[in-house]
Homo-oligomer: A and B are copies of this chain.
Amino acid sequence: MSTHFEQDEPAQLESGLGLRIPRANGLDVHNGSVAPNAQTELEPHSSNSELVRDAIIGLADGLTVPFALTAGLSSVGSTHLVILGGLAELFAGSISMGLGAYLAALTDTKHYEVEFARETRQIANSADLEDEEMYGLFAEYGLGREVVEPLARQLRGDPEAWVKFMMDFELKLERPKTSRGWISALVMGISYFVGGLIPMIPYFAVHSVNKALFISIGVTCVVLLIFGYCKAIATGTTKRAALYGAVETLGIGALAAGVSYGIVRGVNKGLGGTTG
């Protein structure tokens, strides 16, 4: 990927470290996928709401980390401790995730604008250099100047289309949907909160911490399966695929919970006692 900045601009691009926001790449794939379609080989376009995707990311994350954390803390034997630790994680996690998503969206927008302005300026001021870049792009596919020239000539007469073309094909940058940055962040944060609250409910409801742990494991399994099924409906993928994803999520959660349980139990014994 090539990027380019001018002296006066990069200073504002450093914002938004993209904290704790699951990489969208992996999920875009799923969400963008459509129901198996054997009738035609023409590609159908994704029509699913991106908010569904945001909610799925938040929920999946919430179902994993708070579940593992509370399971780990349950080894100490105090429901009180599990609830306090779980709540601290829920608030810390959902705020980090939501705000991080929002700042990353702002950064993406800013980045797009800066690159757009730069590309526009390059095309206006140094069209010859830009032309060379375009020939270079096509040369990678064995396409020589002679076949690219008619296309290049026409783009040269239409700077607006040329800028759009270079943004898409050279920089491969999509215009971010600015209006929904904060909605996306809100949905992600709330979904994380809801997802994380589910494995905690048994600790609120049941006095015995061991019983609560087992109910929490059961509830998390069931919710992940339901969640996987709904995801299949919402995104149009096969149920088998969704089930596979849910089982994988569960696997991560189980490993994280197991290790957390073992470590907390060992350290608590080492520190000499139980809490609460």
Contacts and interface: CB of A to CB of B under 8 A. Distances in A.
Contact of A19 (B11, B15, B61, B147): B61
A11 B243 CA distance: 9
A237 B10 contact: yes
A253 interface: yes
A65 B3 contact: no
Contacts of A101: 23
B92 A257 contact: yes
Contacts of A25: 18, 24, 104, 108
Interface in A224-250: 237-238, 240-245, 248-249
A210 interface: no
A138 B169 CA distance: 11
A213 interface: no
Contacts of A111: 29
B93 A65 contact: yes
A184 to B, nearest CB: 11
A126 B42 CA distance: 10
Interface string A1-32: 11111111011111111111111111111101
B72 A20 contact: no
A107 B26 contact: yes
Interface string A77-104: 0101101110111011101100111011
**5 tightest A-B CB contacts, nearest first:** A14-B241, A18-B26, A68-B92, A26-B104, A72-B88
Interface of A: 1-8, 10-30, 32-34, 36-38, 41-46, 56-57, 60-61, 64-65, 68-69, 72-73, 76, 78, 80-81, 83-85, 87-89, 91-93, 95-96, 99-101, 103-104, 107-108, 111, 122, 125-126, 129, 133, 138, 140-143, 146-148, 150-151, 153-155, 158, 161-162, 164-165, 169-170, 172, 174, 237-238, 240-245, 248-249, 252-253, 255-257, 259-260, 263-264, 267-268, 271, 273, 275-276
